[in-house]
């Protein structure tokens, strides 16, 4: 029992190290084979060396190496899962974490896959560049959905006001950098603290009311911010309904350094995912599940359930605020719509589609929602002589797809598949 527990832990660490090593190889290869831009020196010269390799149009060695690594991990994971020897930490690590490693590597490969398929560069304007921004948006929303799921799926707290966190993250970081000339680190930290304060207020005032009333309370709470942000009284500060823009340091500038921003948001999404998984696997997570299923019982077992809900709310608040901060920096601005109900309902929909209370469900849900939306937007269907511009009706079609998914997968895609898998294994 203890040895297998140990193996599990060191297996996880080994899997993580493996992932980092795999990620470094393509960059080191690019460094070794590239040509520095003339006139650059020092670190910049090194970096421009690597760029000369991976920023090329079409297929690049960097992309090829990443793709091969991704496929290798897929095969290794399948092998590790298929053939059970006990006690080998690397194998146990791969069997457990391999699927996540695979998805992570696949996502690191995507910019180069896109560059290759569209004959464009991953670093400069073009098709791949555009799709990277779509994925950045997806990663940011995925963090928001992970946060939503932590509250709704795991702790059983229904909030209709998640946009308050998201929007305040974007507004705080932007306003501080714009008007008070905060350095970006300070602005980000203060923004996250604002998220904590909002969570505490919501928790201390709101958690005493239950169920739907709490949901409505959070909705009203978010609406206050929404109305405030759009109000003309503060027009000099917030730009009212038009919002405002602000300058960000070059390395965080998504227009200039998109590939970097892509990896930054990808890593932060992975971190949020890991954090929630870790939390839910701990005793605290078990208590959160327990109080979702039966709060009274949990209280009688000696748990101050209020504290636990508050912990969940604060953590979810930090994650959602962080997502908002990223959104603000990505767009170099904010407008009242980041505080609007859209940013409450999108994560809610994504969570329902993917599977409430599953780990990967909300992330998958966001991917489906956003990528399908993006594809629909510029699709024109030609049936004989009739041309149907799907792009104009994307919302309608997305709605239909949503309904079909919910009917076919009553517990969300991941939730339903898991249940079927379990049933097949049990029966």
Partner 1 sequence: MVQQQPLLEGRNVTKYFGGLAAVHHVDFAVYPGEIVGLVGPNGSGKTTLFNCLSRILPINEGEIYFKGKNITHAKPYQVAHMGLARTFQVIRVYRKMTVLQNMLISRQWRGEGILKMLRPSSKATHERARQLLDFLLLGHLMHEPAGHLSGGQRRLLEIGMALMPDPDIILLDEATSGINPTLIETIKDRIRQLNRQEGKTFLLIEHNIDFISDLCSRVYVLDFGEKLAEGTPEEIKNNPAVIEAYFGAE
**CA-to-CA distance for 361 and 354, rounded, in angstroms?**
4
- Of 42 and 426, which CB lies nearer to partner 1 in the complex structure? 426
CA dist 200 → 46, 155, 205 (Å): 46, 16, 8
CB of 276 to partner 1, least distance (A): 12
- Cα atoms found within 13 Å of the Cα of residue 240, Cβ hemisphere only: 6
Nearest Cα residue to 354 out of 186, 166, 142? 142
Within 8 A by CB and 6+ apart from 232, the residues are 240
In the block, which residue shows the tokens 């024109």?
380
- In 221-263 the beta strands, taken as DSSP E runs, fall at 244-245
- Of 290 and 397, which CB lies nearer to partner 1 in the complex structure? 290
CB of 297 to partner 1, least distance (A): 4
CB of 414 to partner 1, least distance (A): 16
- Of 84 and 297, which CB lies nearer to partner 1 in the complex structure? 297
Instruction: Kindly give the interhelix angle for 127-149 and 361-377, rounded to the nearest 10 degrees.
Output: 140
Strand partners, 389: 380
**CA-to-CA distance for 12 and 269, rounded, in angstroms?**
18
Query: How many Å separate Cα 42 from the centre of its chain?
Result: 34
Under the rule (CB under 8 A), what is the footprint of partner 1? 2, 5, 278-279, 282-284, 286-287, 289-290, 293-294, 296-297, 299-305, 311
- Of 303 and 345, which CB lies nearer to partner 1 in the complex structure? 303
CB of 273 to partner 1, least distance (A): 17
- Of 73 and 287, which CB lies nearer to partner 1 in the complex structure? 287
- Of 219 and 279, which CB lies nearer to partner 1 in the complex structure? 279
42-62 exposure pattern, b = at least 16 Cβ within 10 A, e = fewer: eeeeebbbbbebbbbbeebbb
CB of 285 to partner 1, least distance (A): 9
- Of 1 and 407, which CB lies nearer to partner 1 in the complex structure? 1
What letter would DSSP give residue 410?
T
CB of 304 to partner 1, least distance (A): 5
CB of 140 to partner 1, least distance (A): 26
CA dist 217 → 14, 224, 316, 337, 409 (Å): 45, 11, 17, 19, 30
CB of 323 to partner 1, least distance (A): 23
- Of 128 and 298, which CB lies nearer to partner 1 in the complex structure? 298
């Amino acid at each position: 029992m203890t040895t297998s527990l140990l193996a599990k832990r060191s297996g996880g660490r080994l899997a993580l190290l493996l992932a980092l090593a795999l990620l470094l190889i393509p960059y080191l290869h690019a460094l070794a084979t590239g040509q520095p831009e003339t006139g650059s020196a020092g670190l910049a010269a090194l970096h421009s060396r690597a760029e000369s390799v991976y920023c090329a149009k079409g297929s690049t060695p960097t992309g090829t190496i990443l793709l091969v690594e991704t496929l290798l991990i897929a095969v290794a994971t399948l092998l590790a899962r298929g053939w059970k020897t006990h006690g080998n930490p690397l194998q146990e690590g791969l069997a457990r974490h391999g699927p996540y490693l695979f998805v992570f590597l696949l996502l690191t490969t995507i910019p180069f896959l896109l560059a290759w398929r569209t004959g464009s560069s991953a670093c400069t304007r073009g098709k791949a560049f555009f799709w990277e921004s779509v994925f950045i948006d997806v990663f940011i929303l995925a963090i928001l959905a992970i946060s939503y799921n932590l509250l709704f799926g795991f702790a059983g707290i229904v909030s209709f006001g998640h946009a308050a966190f998201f929007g305040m993250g974007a507004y705080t970081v932007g306003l501080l950098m714009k008007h008070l000339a905060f350095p970006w680190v300070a602005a980000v930290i203060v923004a996250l603290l604002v998220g904590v304060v909002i969570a505490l207020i919501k928790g201390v005032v709101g958690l005493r009311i239950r169920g739907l009333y709490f949901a409505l309370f959070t909705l009203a709470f978010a609406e206050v911010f929404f109305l405030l942000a759009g109000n003309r009284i503060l027009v000099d500060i917030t730009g009212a309904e038009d919002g405002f823009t602000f300058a960000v340091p070059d390395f965080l500038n998504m227009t200039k350094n998109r590939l970097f921003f892509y990896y930054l948001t990808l890593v932060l999404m992975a971190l949020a995912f890991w954090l929630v998984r870790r939390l839910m696997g701990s005793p605290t997570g078990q208590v959160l599940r327990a109080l979702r299923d039966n709060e009274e019982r949990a209280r009688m077992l000696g748990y101050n359930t209020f504290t636990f809900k508050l912990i969940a709310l604060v953590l979810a608040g930090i994650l959602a605020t962080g997502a908002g901060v990223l959104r603000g920096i990505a767009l170099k601005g904010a407008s009242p719509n980041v505080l609007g109900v859209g940013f409450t309902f999108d994560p809610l929909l994504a969570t329902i589609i993917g599977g409430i209370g599953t780990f990967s469900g909300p992330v998958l849900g966001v991917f489906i929602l956003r990528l399908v939306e993006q594809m629909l937007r510029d699709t024109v269907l030609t049936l004989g002589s009739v041309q149907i511009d799907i792009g104009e009706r994307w919302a309608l079609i997305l709605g239909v797809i949503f309904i079909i998914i919910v009917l076919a997968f009553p517990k969300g895609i991941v939730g339903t598949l898991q249940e079927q898998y379990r049933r097949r294994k049990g029966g």
